[in-house]
Structure 1
Amino acid sequence: MLDPRIYRAAFLPVLFALVLVGFSLRDQPRGVTTTLAPEAFDGDAAFRQLDRLATAAPQREPGSAGDEAVARTVEQGLRTSGFDVSVRRFDAQTSVGKRTVETVIGERTGFSSQRILVVAQRDAIGTGARAQLSGTAALLELARVLGSRTLNRTLVLASVSGGPAAAKELAEHAGGEVDAVIVLGDLAGTRTVRPVVVPWADGEAVAPLELRRTVETAVAAETGAGAGRTRPFHQFTRLAFPLTLGLQGPFNGAGLPAVLLSVGGERPPAADQPVSAERLTTFGRAALRSVSALDGARELPAPEAYITIERKLLPAGPIRLLAIALLLPVLLAAVDGFARVRRRHEPVGRWLRWVGVCALPFVLAVLLVRVMKLTGLLDAAPSVGGTAFAPDAIPRDGTALAALAAVFVLLVLGWFVLRPLVARLLGAVGDPASPGAAAAVLLVLCAVAIAVWIANPYAALVLIPALHLWLLAIAPEVRLHPLAALALFALGLVPPLLVAFAYARQFGLDPLELAWMGLLLVGGGSVGLVAALGWAIVLGCAGAVLAIIVRASGGGPAAEQHVTVRGPKTYAGPGSLGGTESALRR
């Protein structure tokens, strides 16, 4: 079913795509600077404010009495600094379940209606959590400093509670055109995790480089050290499977340029994280310097997908072209193989049903997780794009372990018990080593890959290596040793495993925490149902490929075929172009 000539010739467009990628690299834009001195930010006063807030409200779960007490303090502080204050109450899905929370908004009108939005989250899980409250203390000090200044743009300071849902609600009700959003995270913690300027979104779009470089330049000016950069591979993983722990995610997802400024990086600090007045002074002044620079800057572009490589920027367009060019050889080989097995009168329809049966356990697992959410077993699962709660914000209690165990048991029983039973009921039985099974698997994989490419070319690039490797592993014409075929199968799993490892390392997750986070994302709808089912089909195809390899290694039709053509391998024999029996045997 594999014609090497068609497969090799289809790689020619890849060369043109690579040339286009090379010529698409462009220089990175510079950040905006300001000449205004940020010394007006009083770090000692902000630290005393932090002490008062933490002492008055050590427990600040979303919607709790402590959370509301801090909201009242912020409201009073914004009014005292000359801001017009409004309060919005709404129901939000938080890390402790559904709660009624408040967003306190202070607005100071500038010469322009275009807005700069500064956001700080005041709620926390755990007692004290002073580091997580440092953003709120810095917000109040920024209000004191900027409340007396004449601004070009309208400045909006917002104190939110409830996590990603609160950020999404604020993004949807920003009240006007927003040029830039700065989310203040941990500004006083003693533990530094770079990069301290986080641009990721809950979708493919990333904060524009102009905004990132502006805040990074301010951090470098105040700290004397760089803000830290993200390696191209980690940037690729964020675009292929968009996921973030910071509140900047929903803003970028809504098309509002946003970054998180946090000394501890993307993951929220632990409740017992020590704090430093000097650190709060330094990063508070960096925030003030950033706001001052953005106030006098030109309009920033909208978030977009890109990767930075050294001093260059690679946009998404060439990546999309490269992905479809790499997919083309497998697609043509699969279509040609399908035509070949049809000419041999192979029951391809039966094998398509077999592939569907292989995907059934994974599809049922996705549906089980969604049912857990509907029944309240995963009540804290987030439902905001790809913005997730920190792993320690939702404890792994007995319910969590039971949910993970239920999914695992369903997968095992579904594969070894339910799958053979359904296959017999649907008539999807036979020898998986036959060419028809390989053709069906490749057709389904190519169809899913094209759908993934349409939605996200970066995710398609994660899937494409498996398509090429698994094509070579199961094509009857490629006679490989069973161990070599298994090695190709395992290599096809390496890219998605590297993505999982990258996220586990960046978020500080162990394997169980990573599985728990994935369960919550699927259950809450952050991973859409269509996307989750699509990847379930990919896992089913992976299982089908493994079944074909195992069966072929035991001796099947693929192993029993003999060469019936004399002469060179590429010579099909007399009459092949006329559709004679000698051609049909190819």
Structure 2
Amino acid sequence: MLDPRIYRAAFLPVIFALVLVGFSLRDQPPGATTTLAPDAFDGEVALTQLDALAAAAPNREPGSPGDRLVAERVREGLEGIGFRVRTRRFGAATVDGTRQVASVYGERTGFSSERVLVVAQRDAVGSGARAQLSGTAALLELARVVGSRTLNRTLVLASISGGPAAARDLAEHLGGPVDAVVVLGDLAGDETVRPLVVPWGDGPRTAPLELRRTVETALSAEAGLAAGRAQPATQFARLAFPLTLGLQGPFVGDGIPAVLLSASGERPPAADQEVSEERLERFGRAVLRTMSALDGARSMPEAEGYVLLERKLLPAWPIRLLGAVLLLPVLIATIDGFARVRRRQEPVGRWLRWVALCALPFVLGVLLVVALKLTGLIGAAPPGPVAADAIPLEGGGLAALAAVVVVIALAWFLLRPYLGRVVGAPRDPSTPGAAAAVMIVLCAAAVVVWIANPWTALLLVPALHLWLLAIAPETRLHPLAALALFLVGLVPPLLIAISYLGQFDVGPLELAWTGLLLVAGGGISLPAALGWAVVLGCAGAVLAIGIRQALGEPPLSGGPGAPPSVRGPRTYAGPGSLGGTESALRR
């Protein structure tokens, strides 16, 4: 089913795409600056506020009495300074299950309707958690400082509770255009984890570099700290499988310029993390300098996907183009192979049913996760990733993971063969029809992924090319070589998983638990989860074809028992070179 000449010729556009990628690199834009001195932020006053809030509400689980107490203190503080305050109450999927939480917004109108939004999360896991509360204390001190200033842009200070669900709700109820969002994390902890300015989103976008540079410049000027930058491979991983523990994620995913500023980096600080008045003052002044710069700067561009390479910036559009031309050889080879297989009267439709049966176990695994959430067996499932200690992997979590694995295994080894006999699916997957069916489904999935996220599509490119070569009967590979190609195709997703193991500071089981919670909570939508189940089913089908070919190589064209050839030699271009007629096939 594979014509090497057509496959090789389809690689020609890749050269032009690579040239365009090289010319698409552009200089990194600078950030906004300000000459106003942010000395008005008083670290001692902010730390006193922090101690008072922590003493009054040591336990602040989402929706708890302590959480409501801090929300009331924030509302009173903003109203006393002259902010126009409103409170929004809603049900949110939190780390403690569905809870009624409240978001408190304080607004000070400027000359422009464009808003600069500063957000602080007040709830926390564990008793005390003073470092986690430092963002709220800094928020109140910022309100005191800017309460008497004249602003160009409207300033909104928001105190939220509920994690990713609260951030998503805030992003959906902003009430007007937002020019930039700064999320305050741990501003007083004595531990430093870079990057201090976190730009990732829950979609294939990153905060605009102008906003990142603005916050980084202010942090360097006031705290003397370098924010730190992620390596290009890490940036690619964040765009290919966009996950983030920071509350800036929903904003960036919607295209809103947003970053998280935190001394602890993306992960929340430990409940017993010590706090420092000096650090709180330095980070608080960095936030005040950032607000002054944003207030007088031009509008920030929308969040978009890009990768920083040394001093250059690689945007998303050449990646989309590169992904398309790298998929093109497999698409053309698959279409040509399908036509060849049909001329041989192979039952491709029946093999498509076989591929569907290979995907069925993984689809059942996804549906089981959804059922566990609907029945309450998975109690807490926020719509985004959370820290490992927020929803620890305990007995119930291990049981849920084990149930999913068992269901997938039983469905693969027992249910799939049984249903195959019921629906009349073929049994010998070593035929060209099986390879054609698998590649048709894989190519269709790759095109859908390319439309949704070109960065993810690049991860599928090696698997598509290598698996095509591994299962095409014409390649005549040794079984070990075919197995090696199959395994190499799995390397890019494995590297992405390893990257997140380090960035989230979790183990393999905890990362799997995070993925299960994302499916249960809607962080990974049901259509997306089912789509990846189909891709996993195709991977299983490729492995099944390889095993079958290793056990007994099928006859190739011209071999004993093979269909009669209706083509001449490869150099022959006369009558019949494009395929035989019905009469020729009968002869």
Instruction: Calculate the TM-score normalised by the size of structure 1.
Output: 0.96
Q: Would you say the 8 A contact 1:120–1:139 is kept in 2?
A: yes
Q: Would you say the 8 A contact 2:223–2:279 is kept in 1?
A: no
Does the residue aligned with 2:211 lie in a helix, a strand or coil?
helix
Which range moved further: 231-240 or 353-362? 231-240
Query: Partner residue of 1:402?
Result: 399
Cα distance per residue 1:207-260 (max 9 Å; x no partner)? 111111100111111222310111111111111111111111112223321110
User: Equivalents in 2 of 1:273, 1:16: separation in Å?
Assistant: 53
Query: Partner residue of 1:53?
Result: 53
Which range moved further: 551-560 or 90-99? 551-560
Query: Partner residue of 2:112?
Result: 112
User: Equivalents in 1 of 2:194, 2:6: separation in Å?
Assistant: 47
Cα distance per residue 1:10-34 (max 9 Å; x no partner)? 0001111111111111111100111
Change (3 A) 1:569 1:520: farther
1:452 equivalent to 2:453? Answer no
Structure 1 gap ranges (5+): none
Q: Would you say the 8 A contact 2:343–2:579 is kept in 1?
A: no
Structure 2 gap ranges (5+): none
User: Equivalents in 2 of 1:473, 1:171: separation in Å?
Assistant: 46
Query: Partner residue of 1:361?
Result: 361
User: Equivalents in 1 of 2:367, 2:57: separation in Å?
Assistant: 41
Alignment of 1:268-417 (within 5 A): 268-383=268-383, 387-417=384-414
User: Equivalents in 2 of 1:15, 1:584: separation in Å?
Assistant: 40
User: Equivalents in 1 of 2:38, 2:265: separation in Å?
Assistant: 23
Change (3 A) 1:525 1:584: farther
Does the residue aligned with 2:490 lie in a helix, a strand or coil?
helix
User: Equivalents in 1 of 2:74, 2:373: separation in Å?
Assistant: 34
1:181 equivalent to 2:212? Answer no
Cα distance per residue 1:55-84 (max 9 Å; x no partner)? 111100011111111112111221222222
- Once the two structures are TM-superposed, the CA of residue 205 in structure 1 deviates from its matched residue by 2.3
Does the residue aligned with 1:162 lie in a helix, a strand or coil?
coil
- Once the two structures are TM-superposed, the CA of residue 574 in structure 1 deviates from its matched residue by 6.8
Does the residue aligned with 1:157 lie in a helix, a strand or coil?
strand
Does the residue aligned with 1:477 lie in a helix, a strand or coil?
helix
Cα distance per residue 1:78-134 (max 9 Å; x no partner)? 122222222221111111011111111111111222111100000011111111111
Query: Partner residue of 1:32?
Result: 32
- Once the two structures are TM-superposed, the CA of residue 575 in structure 1 deviates from its matched residue by 4.7
Query: Partner residue of 1:545?
Result: 542
Q: Which amino acid aligns with 1:519?
A: L
Does the residue aligned with 1:391 lie in a helix, a strand or coil?
coil
Alignment of 1:428-439 (within 5 A): 428-439=425-436
Does the residue aligned with 2:36 lie in a helix, a strand or coil?
coil
Query: Partner residue of 1:425?
Result: 422
Change (3 A) 1:73 1:477: same
Instruction: Calculate the TM-score normalised by the size of structure 2.
Output: 0.96
Query: Partner residue of 1:225?
Result: 225
Alignment of 1:191-206 (within 5 A): 191-206=191-206
Query: Partner residue of 1:483?
Result: 480
Q: Which amino acid aligns with 1:516?
A: W
Query: Partner residue of 1:68?
Result: 68
Cα distance per residue 1:454-506 (max 9 Å; x no partner)? 11111111111100000111111111111111010000000111111111211
User: Equivalents in 1 of 2:322, 2:224: separation in Å?
Assistant: 40
Which range moved further: 568-577 or 234-243? 568-577
Alignment of 1:533-572 (within 5 A): 533-558=530-555, 562=559, 570-571=570-571
User: Equivalents in 2 of 1:445, 1:572: separation in Å?
Assistant: 33
1:250 equivalent to 2:250? Answer yes
User: Equivalents in 2 of 1:340, 1:64: separation in Å?
Assistant: 66
- Once the two structures are TM-superposed, the CA of residue 280 in structure 1 deviates from its matched residue by 1.1
User: Equivalents in 1 of 2:276, 2:457: separation in Å?
Assistant: 45
Q: Would you say the 8 A contact 2:54–2:130 is kept in 1?
A: yes
Change (3 A) 1:265 1:571: same
Q: Which amino acid aligns with 1:187?
A: L
User: Equivalents in 2 of 1:543, 1:445: separation in Å?
Assistant: 12
User: Equivalents in 1 of 2:264, 2:127: separation in Å?
Assistant: 19
Change (3 A) 1:499 1:572: farther
Q: Would you say the 8 A contact 1:552–1:559 is kept in 2?
A: no
Change (3 A) 1:583 1:57: farther
Q: Would you say the 8 A contact 1:7–1:332 is kept in 2?
A: yes
User: Equivalents in 1 of 2:261, 2:147: separation in Å?
Assistant: 21
User: Equivalents in 1 of 2:511, 2:467: separation in Å?
Assistant: 27
Q: Would you say the 8 A contact 1:434–1:556 is kept in 2?
A: no
User: Equivalents in 1 of 2:99, 2:555: separation in Å?
Assistant: 60
Change (3 A) 1:572 1:275: farther
Does the residue aligned with 1:205 lie in a helix, a strand or coil?
coil
Cα distance per residue 1:562-584 (max 9 Å; x no partner)? 4999xx97446975426348997
Q: Which amino acid aligns with 1:114?
A: E
User: Equivalents in 1 of 2:255, 2:468: separation in Å?
Assistant: 40
User: Equivalents in 2 of 1:579, 1:363: separation in Å?
Assistant: 39
Cα distance per residue 1:516-565 (max 9 Å; x no partner)? 00001111111111111111011011011111111111113157964999
| Residues paired across the two proteins, number | 581
User: Equivalents in 2 of 1:583, 1:297: separation in Å?
Assistant: 75
Cα distance per residue 1:132-165 (max 9 Å; x no partner)? 1110111111111111211111111111111111
Does the residue aligned with 1:298 lie in a helix, a strand or coil?
coil
Which range moved further: 56-65 or 166-175? 166-175
Does the residue aligned with 1:38 lie in a helix, a strand or coil?
coil
Q: Would you say the 8 A contact 1:575–1:583 is kept in 2?
A: no
- Once the two structures are TM-superposed, the CA of residue 345 in structure 1 deviates from its matched residue by 1.4
- Once the two structures are TM-superposed, the CA of residue 7 in structure 1 deviates from its matched residue by 0.3
Change (3 A) 1:31 1:356: same
Change (3 A) 1:529 1:578: closer
Alignment of 1:466-477 (within 5 A): 466-477=463-474
User: Equivalents in 2 of 1:148, 1:259: separation in Å?
Assistant: 26
Alpha-carbon RMSD across the aligned residues, in angstroms, is: 2.0
Query: Partner residue of 2:503?
Result: 506
Which range moved further: 40-49 or 512-521? 40-49
User: Equivalents in 1 of 2:115, 2:60: separation in Å?
Assistant: 29
Q: Would you say the 8 A contact 1:433–1:558 is kept in 2?
A: no
User: Equivalents in 2 of 1:172, 1:575: separation in Å?
Assistant: 65
User: Equivalents in 2 of 1:150, 1:446: separation in Å?
Assistant: 57
Does the residue aligned with 1:51 lie in a helix, a strand or coil?
helix
Change (3 A) 1:7 1:28: same
Does the residue aligned with 1:393 lie in a helix, a strand or coil?
coil
Q: Would you say the 8 A contact 1:172–1:254 is kept in 2?
A: no
User: Equivalents in 2 of 1:492, 1:373: separation in Å?
Assistant: 32
Q: Would you say the 8 A contact 2:474–2:556 is kept in 1?
A: no
Q: Which amino acid aligns with 1:327?
A: L
Which range moved further: 576-585 or 452-461? 576-585
1:532 equivalent to 2:529? Answer yes
- Once the two structures are TM-superposed, the CA of residue 167 in structure 1 deviates from its matched residue by 1.3
Q: Would you say the 8 A contact 1:2–1:477 is kept in 2?
A: yes
User: Equivalents in 1 of 2:585, 2:157: separation in Å?
Assistant: 73
The percent of aligned pairs where both chains have the same amino acid is 70
